[in-house]
Amino acid sequence: MHLDTVKDYLKTLQNRITGAIAQLDGGSFISDAWKKPPGEALQGNGITQILENGEVFERAGCGFSHVTGPKLPPSATHDRPELSGAPFEAMGVSLVFHPRNPYAPTVHMNVRMLSAKTADGQTVAWFGGGMDLTPYYGFEEDAVHFHSSCRDALNPFGEHLYPRFKVWCDDYFCLKHRNEQRGIGGIFFDDFSELGSEQSFAMVQSVGDTLLKAYLPIVEKRMNTPYGERERAHQLYRRGRYVEFNLVWDRGTHFGLQSGGRTESILLSMPPLVSWSYQHQAEAGTPEHDLMQRFIVRREWL
Amino acid sequence: MHLDTVKDYLKTLQNRITGAIAQLDGGSFISDAWKKPPGEALQGNGITQILENGEVFERAGCGFSHVTGPKLPPSATHDRPELSGAPFEAMGVSLVFHPRNPYAPTVHMNVRMLSAKTADGQTVAWFGGGMDLTPYYGFEEDAVHFHSSCRDALNPFGEHLYPRFKVWCDDYFCLKHRNEQRGIGGIFFDDFSELGSEQSFAMVQSVGDTLLKAYLPIVEKRMNTPYGERERAHQLYRRGRYVEFNLVWDRGTHFGLQSGGRTESILLSMPPLVSWSYQHQAEAGTPEHDLMQRFIVRREWL
């Protein structure tokens, strides 16, 4: 597996996805190529694409980045002592789409690769990523569609993968300070190489290729549902949880901001408009209450 | 110094401040007494007061809390080995007020005490706190008034204190991921006992007693300034920085959320409505640009 192959796949994936989103929206993404200033230990470049204030999407960000570093951090080589201190490359695509209509859910996807060279010149690569859905109003059929798309992406590589990555996702996207899930979950994996480089990369491609299939039909179904101030207020309040998770718990975001990553690219995930209010509780019997009781919980969807 | 004296001072301070804010606003605070469930290592109780959707204040939160623990954490006893593992008490008042009018600044204040008993039964106490101002539009006279109020509060205890605590505040309230200050600063101190318990507590009282003098005249002067969508959009965008600082960098918030503090009380500081947008830049020559150039920077105000 050549690293250029991975890079080509990721850049094409980014354009395929943002192309489809732009088409649905009718608006267009701005595309911002960036490069880390020379002289820093971490070198790299990326392309940040973002659509703001669209008809369908209030904020949709999708970033590609490619970073090289002189030395793997100890956290990455704990289980790979032979790579301790080796130079590395990391590349990935990360996206968060926030629709305007409160009946349409927010989606997040990430696919990434970390690779390093052993002392005898062999390239070792491992992968991470996944996708998860955060609805503001719950629809069983949407949750089932999203989860079955995730399962279908993974099944060709082993039927044990979906159940494992589904639980991993529930574990990861949990707001521990509220004992609350971020959304209805999906799949999450990290540090993955057990199928070998080629097949692991094929699995990651299958995940990346599934995003539009998993998400677009749901947005298309919900984006024109009539709504009023009540639904909008609920959506803005729930978006606060997205901010709390990403800034407090998400390792990529928190570590990225604290270690000198590119702030505006990292914070692509932030919702466009968010509210906080004290001890907000949905009344029993309302759809907002139903969301919390039956959807934003750990649950088997398939 | 008896701990009940500190507690009485803090509870009275909370009511004095929220009373004055409610009077200015015309609305009223809800007051929420809470208690940690028995069985947890950290025991405690508090009173959370909050005014939401007021005429003048869109969200104004002020909390008192009193926590006891069986064992000081290592971080607290690094410089006090004689207190290693000692039982402790912590109490404080913390507030953040977010006005509705973009010309009126957000204020934050905190006063707190940590105390522990040495092996021979002596009570040792140390203090922390301060106040800082975050304007959305810059006014020199407001910044000078706020900083001179801070200086006047400290000067009776030593003229070296204001310059020292002013720099400490600039150091603390810095968004390192943006190389940006949170606001125009003020004063910040931590781990303070060098004047002895009695005088250190007197200094903290002087700081607490100064909040209304430092802040109210500024809000009163700005709260009726006419504004439109442009000012509102700028305010919502800048509030995003408040969220970023508090969730990513503020030790109290971040540690509190990660260690099982009372979420809704910790997140009193969150603004009521916030926006994010990509690479937002104010145009040169505008008041929004002037804010960033001349106010949200490290600068001597007196």
Summarize pLDDT for B65-119 with one digit per residue, the tens.
999 888 887 777 777 788 888 888 999 999 999 999 999 999 999 999 999 988 8
pLDDT-derived band at B283 (thresholds 50, 70, 90) equals very high
Between A38-47, B172-181, B185-194, the lowest mean confidence (pLDDT) is in A38-47
Averaged pLDDT, A40-60: 94
Q: Is residue A17 pLDDT above 80, yes or no?
A: yes
Q: Which residues contact B141 (CB under 8 A, 6 or more apart)?
A: none
Task: Give the residue carrying structure tokens 């926006």.
Answer: B275
Between A73-87, B126-140, B262-276, the lowest mean confidence (pLDDT) is in A73-87
Question: CB atoms < 10 A from the CB of B26, how many?
Answer: 10
Task: Give me the pLDDT at residue A85, please.
Answer: 83
Task: Give me the pLDDT at residue A156, please.
Answer: 98
Task: Give me the pLDDT at residue A42, please.
Answer: 79
Task: Give me the pLDDT at residue B183, please.
Answer: 98
List residues of A whose CB lies inside 8 A of any B CB: 30, 32, 48, 50, 52, 59, 61, 176-178, 236, 240, 243-244, 247-248, 254, 257-258, 260-261, 263-264, 266-268, 270-279
Q: Across all residues in chain A, what is the average pLDDT? A: 94
Task: Give me the pLDDT at residue A84, please.
Answer: 83
pLDDT-derived band at B126 (thresholds 50, 70, 90) equals very high
- Residue A107 · residue A156 · CB < 8 Å: no
pLDDT digits (tens, 9 = 90+) for A131-144: 999 999 999 999 99
Asked if A108 is an active-site residue, the reply is yes
Averaged pLDDT, B244-267: 89
Q: Which residues of B are catalytic?
A: 108
Averaged pLDDT, A77-95: 86
Q: Is residue B255 pLDDT above 80, yes or no?
A: no
Q: Is residue B227 pLDDT above 80, yes or no?
A: yes
Task: Give me the pLDDT at residue B4, please.
Answer: 93
Closest CA to A162 of A193, A188, A198: A188
C-alpha dihedral sign at B54, B55, B57, B59:
positive
The amino acid present at B206, given as its one-letter code, is S
For A258, the closest chain B residue by CA position comes to B177
Task: Give me the pLDDT at residue A212, please.
Answer: 98
Task: Give me the pLDDT at residue B121, please.
Answer: 82
For B269, the closest chain A residue by CA position comes to A276
Selected residue with higher pLDDT from A36 and B221: B221
Closest CA to A301 of A194, A126, A197, A150: A150
Task: Give me the pLDDT at residue B208, please.
Answer: 98
How many degrees, rounded to 5, is the angle at CA A103 between CA A100 and CA A107? 70
Task: Give me the pLDDT at residue B241, please.
Answer: 98
Query: What is the C-alpha to C-alpha distance for residues B53 and B28, in angstroms, rounded to an integer?
Result: 10
- Helix (H), strand (E) at residue A191: strand A185-192
List residues of B whose CB lies inside 8 A of any A CB: 30, 32, 48, 50, 52, 59, 61, 176-178, 236, 240, 243-244, 247-248, 254, 257-258, 260-261, 263-264, 266-268, 270-279
Q: Is residue A76 pLDDT above 80, yes or no?
A: no
**H-helix segments, A64-160:** 74-77, 140-154
Which residue among B59, B244, B279 places its CB closest to the CB of A247?
B244
